Amino acid sequence: MLARHSLVWLSADGWQRAAQTATAGGNYQAVLQRWQRHDWPAVLRRRDADTPEDQICLGLALPPDGNGGKTRIPFRAQLADVQRMTDPLALRAALKYAPPAWSAALHAFVGACLHSGIAMRIYGSWAWQILTQQSYVRPGSDIDLLFTPGSVEELTRGLGLLAQHAGRLPLDGEIVFAEGQAVAWKECWQALQADSRQRVLVKTGDMVKLTPLAALMSTLEGA
C-alpha cells in the first residue's frame, strides 16, 4: 500500500516530468534536477484532491536557511515513473547518525525499544539529513517518529516508552493505524489517558478527519 512518508526514487525521465509540476510558489525545477543527480529520494505526501489515478503526490524539503526558514516543495509524478519505493528509515539503523546532543539519550531510548520489541521509523529533518548529507537538524529540531503497532498491548507499550523518554528527547511523530490512518503520538497518548472515546485528528493518504481513538484501536489485535 502507498503510505505517507514512504521514500520514492524516480527514473531519470520521471524526474524530468515531475520537475514540470514543481512550480507552485517558485521555480524549483533546478532543485529537482539536483535531487536526480544525487539519486536522493522524494517523500510520498497526502494526495491532492484532483490527482489523477496514474499519478502520486510527492514532496521534498530543503535545508533551513540562515533564519531557520524551511522550504518544502510539493510536486507530482507518474506512478509508472517510480523506480523504487521503500519504508522510511528505521530508527535503529539511523542511530549511528545521531547528532551529539541526542546521542546518549537516543541510545537509551532505542535500547528500551529493542528490549520491549518496539520498532520505530524516522522522517522529517533528521531523515533528510541522513539521506542527503546536508545540514537539516538545528538545536530546536524534533525527532519525528513513525510507530505502527500491531496490537492494543503494543500500542500501550510504545506510547509509554515515548512518554517516558520525551523528557530527555524532542520526540514527535505519529502512530499509524490500519489503512495508514495516522495520529500524532502526543494526542493519542493524551486521549488514551483521558477517554479513548475522545476524537483525535487523523491523517490518511488523501484526507484529514476526526475519529474516536477507540475506533482506531478497534482495528488492532486484542481490542
pLDDT tens profile 112-142: 999 999 999 999 999 999 999 999 999 999 9
- Give 23's pLDDT tier (boundaries 50, 70, 90): low
Active site residue 195: no
- Read off the C-alpha cell for 79: 506512478
Give the integer Cα–Cα distance in Å for 82 and 19: 14
Among the residue ranges 149-153, 169-173, 193-197, the one predicted with the least confidence is 193-197
Look at residue 25 and tell me whether its pLDDT is greater than 60.
no
What angle do the packed helices 12-19 and 29-38 form, to 10 degrees?
170
Mean pLDDT of the chain: 93
For the chain, helix, strand, coil in percent to 5 are 40, 25, 35
Of 20-24, 163-167, 203-207, the range with the lowest mean pLDDT is: 20-24
Say whether 54 is catalytic.
no
- Provide the pLDDT for residue 22: 76
- With a pLDDT cut of 70, the percent of the chain lying above it is 97
Over residues 99-113, the pLDDT tens digits come to 999 999 999 999 999
Output DSSP code: residue 19.
H
Can you tell me the mean pLDDT for 19-48?
A: 86
Gap between the Cα atoms of 207 and 45, Å rounded: 11
Locate the domains of the chain by residue range: 7-86, 89-217
State residue 126 phi and psi, 5-degree precision: -65, -40
Mean pLDDT of 44-68: 92
Binned at pLDDT 50, 70 and 90, residue 152 comes out as very high
pLDDT band at 20 (very low <50, low <70, confident <90, very high): confident
pTM: 0.93
Active-site residue, from 13, 39, 54, 142: 142
Looking from the CA of 201 toward its CB, the CA atoms found within 13 Å total 6
State the first-to-last Cα distance of the chain, in angstroms, to the nearest integer: 23
- Looking at residue 197, its pLDDT comes to 87
The whole-number pLDDT of residue 107 equals 97
pLDDT at 223 (0 to 100) = 66
Given the residues 65, 87, 144, 172, select the one marked as catalytic: 144
Q: How confident is the model over 28-42, as pLDDT tens digits?
A: 888 999 999 999 999
Question: What pLDDT is recorded for position 10?
Answer: 97
Q: What is the mean pLDDT of residues 213-219?
A: 95
Using the predicted structure, report yes or no on whether residue 1 has a pLDDT greater than 90: no
pLDDT greater than 60 at residue 61:
yes
**Residue type present at position 20:** Q
